[in-house]
Amino acid sequence: MEQKPMQINIELGEKESEGIYSNLALIVFSPSEIILDFARIMPGRDKGKLFARIVMTPQNAKTFMLALQDNIRKFESQFGEIKVVGKPSQDKNIGFHVSRQNGEKEE
């Protein structure tokens, strides 16, 4: 028997509808959770500000990753390939970085 997809209504507040700009993401994890910190840092500065922290189970983080990959694929099929200039971890001030469990940046 086929299950009908459940419809979910999500309230979007005025503040949340504005969104948050981030040019730096830090990712750390333990066996039971993955933490995504979204921050903003200005070029030439050595201090940034954290704007959002998302804590997920590893299973939810993987589901999120697959959904993001699918949406990037759809975006690129409509608008063209997204160009990534250089290796993000080479720029110590700006970019998105993946951290290892002990907090060291992955190269």
From residue 10, alpha-carbon distances to 7, 13, 16, 17, 73 in Å are 10, 10, 12, 12, 25
Domain-located, residue 37 = yes
What was the pLDDT predicted at 11?
95
What was the pLDDT predicted at 4?
82
Query: Domain tally for the chain?
Result: 1
Domain-located, residue 105 = no
Phi, psi of 83 (to 5 degrees): -85, 135
What was the pLDDT predicted at 98?
54
Domain-located, residue 49 = yes
What residue numbers bound the domain in which 47 lies? 19-96
Measured CA to CA, the distance from residue 51 to residue 38 in angstroms comes to 6
Domain-located, residue 14 = no
Domain-located, residue 5 = no
DSSP H stretches of helix in the chain: 14-17, 58-79
Tell me the whole-structure pTM to 2 decimals: 0.70
pLDDT digits (tens, 9 = 90+) for 72-91: 999 999 999 999 887 655 44
Q: What residues in the chain have per-residue pLDDT under 70? A: 87-107
